[in-house]
Homo-oligomer: A and B are copies of this chain.
């Protein structure tokens, strides 16, 4: 016989990837259920698409930078495949692929996406998106309702202090047309530079517009004239009305902005909204209303919820041009924000009761007691082996239990149990048949 060399594999996660341990997962799952309930209240339907897609489904929609961040490889059958980069492009594929789906089509999807970005604090290569979209309507009623739903989501999570900052790509396109920038990559380049304004300031933005985007100084001035349009929603809408020529795309965008705000005012959301003409959104595919949402009390935290209208995207997959509009909630960033705002707490357990096993001969009575408790709907753990009571009690304390059920042979004979209340350091004798109701009244 030869001695086998045993190599231990170091347990580790990939850079930019993470495990969600229970204390994070418990509040996370509660949050996801709340969000799903809001989706349902708004009539959105669940959809799930594969993690892997043919690469050509994904490329060419996110801009060159996006394409370079795809997890792309050849599978065992030499197919060129990639992990999804967002949930919007797979939705566009689905809508084109299944023409029998009723339209307007409202769907939601909560799922991970993958981007090979440089990891940073709060930025991961795998992260969860939570998307809601309305496909098949080119009316800003859909845009407005998506924004309304986004606001309802945050409110349902107990967040009151937030601002949804709204803009419209047609307004930006109007500006681009005025300064002689061609639609397509050239326009996207300018918009990406403008998108950096809040981070890098006016001077650097002007420099970039000149050096990177080849705008002359008159054009740069018009861009900043435009960006200087600030104030209340009413003021901005008024100033915008005079800014663009009649019949121009900029005027159309202005009209859309007005309609969105009129809808959202009707459903009582004005106070949560702002117009922000500097918002451009980095992705190629937006064509109308766009929005980003920021939490009050967390300046510099970044957007937690954003999206917009993409009327050309689905048309890349089929002959018909099908309009769409959506919103995407960054689950992980939002959770981090809620933690910082003390609106959510890590939780180590979902059950408050431990049933101990006194010795090997008393496994069955312990199992029966645990079953009684669970059958009444109360979560409970059975310690999974006979062990010293001290050890089992220590485990109960460590995992946040309130009540510990103990059944020795005396108790078993008398059909009773001992229940130790860890919060009160008191012990009670309870008849087995009364156990579920006794626990219920203790826990509430």
In the complex the two chains form, is A382's CB within 8 Å of B145's CB? yes
In the complex the two chains form, is A374's CB within 8 Å of B41's CB? yes
Q: Any chain B CB within 8 A of the CB of A367?
A: yes
A259 vs chain B, min Cβ distance (A): 8
Tell me the bound Cα distance from A96 to B365 in angstroms: 33
In the complex the two chains form, is A116's CB within 8 Å of B76's CB? yes
Of chain B, the residue at the smallest CB distance from A364 is B266
Q: Any chain B CB within 8 A of the CB of A54?
A: yes
A319 contacts across to B, CB distance below 8 A: 8
In the complex the two chains form, is B374's CB within 8 Å of A42's CB? yes
Taking a contact as CB atoms closer than 8 A, the residue among B75, B112, B383, B386 that contacts A51 in the complex is B112
In the complex the two chains form, is B385's CB within 8 Å of A137's CB? yes
A380 contacts across to B, CB distance below 8 A: 41-43
Give a binary string over A10-50; 1 marks a CB under 8 Å from any B CB, 0 the rest.
11111101111110011011000100100011111111111
In the complex the two chains form, is B104's CB within 8 Å of A379's CB? no
Tell me the bound Cα distance from A29 to B48 in angstroms: 11
Q: Any chain B CB within 8 A of the CB of A201?
A: no
Q: Any chain B CB within 8 A of the CB of A415?
A: no
A150 vs chain B, min Cβ distance (A): 14
6 closest A-B pairs by CB: A43-B381, A139-B385, A73-B73, A22-B45, A266-B364, A142-B384
Tell me the bound Cα distance from A12 to B49 in angstroms: 11
Residues of chain A from 56 to 82 with CB closer than 8 A to chain B in the complex: 56-57, 71, 73-77, 79, 81
Tell me the bound Cα distance from A49 to B18 in angstroms: 7
A36 vs chain B, min Cβ distance (A): 7
In the complex the two chains form, is A141's CB within 8 Å of B357's CB? yes
A363 vs chain B, min Cβ distance (A): 6
Tell me the bound Cα distance from A15 to B53 in angstroms: 10
Q: Any chain B CB within 8 A of the CB of A350?
A: yes
Tell me the bound Cα distance from A26 to B36 in angstroms: 11
Most buried by B among A10, A33, A48, A377: A48
Extra contacts besides A71-B75, A71-B76, A139-B385 (12): CB < 8 Å: A11-B97, A14-B53, A18-B50, A20-B47, A28-B46, A29-B46, A43-B350, A43-B382, A73-B74, A76-B116, A134-B384, A266-B368
In the complex the two chains form, is B75's CB within 8 Å of A116's CB? yes
Residues of chain A from 365 to 424 with CB closer than 8 A to chain B in the complex: 365, 367-368, 371, 374, 377-386, 395, 398-399
Q: Any chain B CB within 8 A of the CB of A102?
A: yes
Most buried by B among A139, A152, A317: A139
A428 contacts across to B, CB distance below 8 A: none
Q: Any chain B CB within 8 A of the CB of A138?
A: yes
Q: Any chain B CB within 8 A of the CB of A227?
A: no
A411 vs chain B, min Cβ distance (A): 16
A371 contacts across to B, CB distance below 8 A: 148, 267-268
Residues of chain A from 323 to 368 with CB closer than 8 A to chain B in the complex: 348-351, 354, 357, 363-365, 367-368
Residues of chain A from 301 to 328 with CB closer than 8 A to chain B in the complex: 316-319
